[in-house]
Chains A and B, each alone.
Chain A
């Protein structure tokens, strides 16, 4: 018999790890990634590989040489940040802009706060919004979806459905195209069916709970539905709002980011409703055609406040 170890209970662990959670999210992103590659071809491949590689590299370099702490790149969180950043970029974005976005996402968005778990804002969205404000032209010229296209910087571009709605011109793609993802946009956000498939996987694996995605999507649906009923000539139908832009990607993968979302179920509902309302306000009344990224970042800022005031349902406090 070896020397005995004495420690407090519990003496068993469920075996869950950060790596397992990150891996599940990555698996859930695979369908959307494959469809993104199908519609945007070579460009999508270059942008995603660049983003993932540079995110992992920047995290390693910052930890190794600036913070001088043990690298945590083996928990796959930097891979996930890179992939999510790439999903939020147009597939014809020059490599150097992608690298710059990755540096801001990892360096400013994540490591400057102390690494995974300490960042108040979603790092991928910090990177994306930085690029959107710094390079508005490159960030809003969207390649048209052409299956297996081998073009990259010279891709043929066109307006996204949301831009069409905003400027009241042109014919929207039909709902089936919107559902499959046959439309212009950031390369990972277009395919509703693939993102929903990922959502089902995450829910089944209990990586995320339904509260955030459902509350975001319901709020957008109800809000835009009311607007549509008031004036169908001026406002787009709610289903178009649900299926276009970064809403599904945001609601399922960005808003549910563990670190930056609330810790309790009622808190998650408040947070989701907030994201939905801000998204619609920006889309319908704001200057930008799309507002999911801003909405999530704004609600990220409210997360500590929500955590401080919205408590879980305590045992024994239920009305009999």
Chain B
């Protein structure tokens, strides 16, 4: 079975919510729709206090190249535009809307009938995706239309669909594949057309055998051409973009380069579902699947949630916060962010809420590095985490740059594997941020 060639770890899965049918999250009286995502410039609000909005109406306009439109996920009245604490821990602008009924704008096709026909040109498809405000739903939230607009002179050979979901606990992509497989396959066909390739590979980790079989069955019986499903070995970080490309087409994206350098374009499976809805149903990105889970949760489950709904409201619907919770993570346990509060809005990049019991919320006591080299063996980018941590502690920025710190994907394999429980990634991340700043200011000077 295919996998990437350097490093990796095997964390326990804990996919409690696997196979749980997704529920519609109840829409509360008030939502706060973030105008910004973690990457790129915030969108500019095009509504004002007191305006009435409908579901799917544009409320924030993309501001610059790496930015995405934002649409209202509910109908109602704009209360205010104000800063809100979001899941990343920063205060960012959001549109507060008092919900009233559920009126959609007219041109969205609300029926669930599948539309396969697509006669649009590549440019028209990308335009529709940009208009719909679709960003990468795997977590990085990079605008999808930017990824699909190939740089001049570059040609793509293959579209890679990231359906790996290698983070422990999370099951939202898995469930989406079980429930909306055909839509996903149409979304892939549309995306293939957008970047003008005739080959697509869906990479799925082998712990989702039912999804693999379901997709393969549909590809055969409903004749989707050029799409293949590839089961992948369970190994973290299989879903890292560069790792996935290495696993599937045995090419390593050079340091600092984009996947197109090796002829690949990668999209998350939830993103291609959003692309299907945008292109075939005129529906902008106003909702996504999220997993609410944890070891002490009575009922870990998957929800289809409109953007802007406070996470606390969804958690209420799934049985409330478990009593022994001492840490709440937005996302998975390997790369997710610890939340300071549940009163943060559902955003485009929210894939999960994980409740960590008190017994597992704190790290062990740090000991001396015993030079066991387990971090070096685990690093999927071929770096030396122990060395980078030492250099970061001593502010040796030049040496860190020389030792490729900018290649770090912050997957956390090093910290996970360290028998001395050293906070390797904390120090490397700090060094990487500093070195990144140094490189940027150097480029400005030149």
Interface residues of A (CB under 8 A from B): 1-14, 16-18, 20-21, 72, 75, 114-118, 209, 258-265, 307, 311-318, 320
| Residue of A117, A261, A265 contacting most chain B CB atoms (<10 Å) | A117
Question: A13 and B338: CB pair below 8 A?
Answer: no
Contact of A258 (CB < 8 Å), options: B371, B403, B416, B418: B371
Question: A6 and B254: CB pair below 8 A?
Answer: no
Which are the 7 A-B pairs with shortest beta-carbon distances? A10-B412, A117-B368, A314-B382, A16-B419, A258-B372, A6-B338, A315-B381
Contact of B325 (CB < 8 Å), options: A2, A258, A313, A320: A2
Question: A9 and B334: CB pair below 8 A?
Answer: yes
Contact of A314 (CB < 8 Å), options: B339, B381, B417: B381
Q: A5-B327, A9-B334 are in contact. Are A264 and B373 (CB under 8 A)?
A: yes
Question: A316 and B254: CB pair below 8 A?
Answer: yes
Per-residue interface assignment for chain B, residues 226 to 263, with 1 indicating a CB less than 8 Å from any chain A CB and 0 otherwise: 00000000000000001000100001111101000010
Question: B372 and A314: CB pair below 8 A?
Answer: no
CA distance A116 to B339 in the complex (A): 36
Query: Which bucket holds chain B's interface residue count?
Result: 35 or more
Contacts of A316 in B (CB 8 A): 242, 252-255, 257, 381, 407
Question: B372 and A11: CB pair below 8 A?
Answer: no
Contact of B419 (CB < 8 Å), options: A17, A118, A311, A317: A17
Q: Answer whether residue B306 sits at the interface, using C-beta atoms and an 8 A cutoff.
A: no
- Taking A14-B11, A18-B367 as known contacts, 9 extra A-B pairs with beta carbons closer than 8 A to each other, sorted by chain A number, are A4-B339, A9-B425, A11-B356, A14-B9, A16-B374, A17-B419, A117-B420, A314-B381, A320-B252
Per-residue interface assignment for chain B, residues 351 to 388, with 1 indicating a CB less than 8 Å from any chain A CB and 0 otherwise: 00010101011111001111111101101111110110
Question: A116 and B326: CB pair below 8 A?
Answer: no
Q: Answer whether residue B108 sits at the interface, using C-beta atoms and an 8 A cutoff.
A: no
Question: B338 and A7: CB pair below 8 A?
Answer: yes
CB distance from A210 to the nearest CB of B (A): 12
CA distance A11 to B11 in the complex (A): 12
Instruction: Tell me the dominant secondary structure on chain A's binding face.
Output: loop
Contacts of B338 in A (CB 8 A): 4-9, 11
CB distance from B405 to the nearest CB of A (A): 12
CA distance A259 to B372 in the complex (A): 7
CB distance from A9 to the nearest CB of B (A): 5
Contacts of B304 in A (CB 8 A): none
CA distance A116 to B410 in the complex (A): 28
| Residue of A20, A263, A315 contacting most chain B CB atoms (<10 Å) | A315
Contacts of B117 in A (CB 8 A): none
Question: A16 and B255: CB pair below 8 A?
Answer: no
Q: Answer whether residue B191 sits at the interface, using C-beta atoms and an 8 A cutoff.
A: no
Contacts of A258 in B (CB 8 A): 370-373
Contact of B363 (CB < 8 Å), options: A1, A13, A313, A315: A13
A-B contact count (CB 8 A): 165
CB distance from A315 to the nearest CB of B (A): 4
Contact of B242 (CB < 8 Å), options: A6, A18, A116, A315: A315
Contact of A11 (CB < 8 Å), options: B255, B325, B333, B340: B333
Which A residue's beta carbon lies closest to that of B251?
A320
Interface residues of B (CB under 8 A from A): 5-6, 9, 11, 89, 168, 242, 246, 251-255, 257, 262, 321, 323-329, 333-341, 354, 356, 358, 360-364, 367-374, 376-377, 379-384, 386-387, 403-404, 407, 410, 412, 415-421, 425-426, 429
Contacts of B416 in A (CB 8 A): 10, 12-14
Contacts of B368 in A (CB 8 A): 114-118
Contact of A10 (CB < 8 Å), options: B367, B377, B425: B425
CA distance A172 to B262 in the complex (A): 61
Question: B11 and A314: CB pair below 8 A?
Answer: no
Question: B376 and A1: CB pair below 8 A?
Answer: no
| Residue of B253, B362, B386, B418 contacting most chain A CB atoms (<10 Å) | B418
Question: A7 and B363: CB pair below 8 A?
Answer: yes
Question: B421 and A13: CB pair below 8 A?
Answer: yes
CA distance A21 to B6 in the complex (A): 23
Which B residue's beta carbon lies closest to that of A265?
B377
A sample of 20 cross-chain residue pairs with beta-carbon separation below 8 angstroms, ordered by A number, consists of: A4-B327, A7-B363, A8-B338, A9-B334, A10-B335, A10-B416, A11-B354, A12-B334, A13-B364, A14-B11, A72-B367, A263-B386, A312-B379, A312-B383, A312-B384, A313-B382, A315-B380, A315-B381, A316-B253, A317-B255
Contacts of A116 in B (CB 8 A): 368, 370
CA distance A18 to B367 in the complex (A): 9
Contacts of B327 in A (CB 8 A): 4-7, 11
Contacts of A21 in B (CB 8 A): 370, 372, 419
CA distance A94 to B173 in the complex (A): 68
CA distance A117 to B419 in the complex (A): 12
CB distance from A310 to the nearest CB of B (A): 10
Contacts of A265 in B (CB 8 A): 377
Which A residue's beta carbon lies closest to that of B169?
A12
CA distance A315 to B381 in the complex (A): 5
CB distance from B69 to the nearest CB of A (A): 29
CB distance from A98 to the nearest CB of B (A): 26
Q: A10-B333, A13-B416, A264-B376 are in contact. Are A259 and B370 (CB under 8 A)?
A: yes
Q: A1-B321, A4-B328, A6-B339 are in contact. Are A314 and B407 (CB under 8 A)?
A: yes
CA distance A21 to B370 in the complex (A): 11
Question: A8 and B425: CB pair below 8 A?
Answer: yes
Contacts of B403 in A (CB 8 A): 311
CB distance from A87 to the nearest CB of B (A): 20
CA distance A3 to B325 in the complex (A): 9
Question: B404 and A314: CB pair below 8 A?
Answer: yes
Which A residue's beta carbon lies closest to that of B329?
A11
Question: A318 and B370: CB pair below 8 A?
Answer: no
Q: A7-B338, A12-B11 are in contact. Are A263 and B410 (CB under 8 A)?
A: no
CB distance from B49 to the nearest CB of A (A): 33
CB distance from B413 to the nearest CB of A (A): 8
Which A residue's beta carbon lies closest to that of B9?
A14
| Residue of B324, B416, B417 contacting most chain A CB atoms (<10 Å) | B416
CB distance from B356 to the nearest CB of A (A): 6
CB distance from B414 to the nearest CB of A (A): 9
Q: A116-B370, A264-B373 are in contact. Are A8 and B426 (CB under 8 A)?
A: yes
Contacts of A314 in B (CB 8 A): 255, 381-383, 404, 407
Question: B407 and A16: CB pair below 8 A?
Answer: no
Contact of B326 (CB < 8 Å), options: A5, A14, A114: A5
Contact of B333 (CB < 8 Å), options: A1, A12, A17: A12
Contacts of B336 in A (CB 8 A): 9, 11
Contact of B412 (CB < 8 Å), options: A9, A262, A318: A9
CB distance from A198 to the nearest CB of B (A): 18
Contacts of B337 in A (CB 8 A): 9
Contact of A3 (CB < 8 Å), options: B326, B335, B376, B383: B326
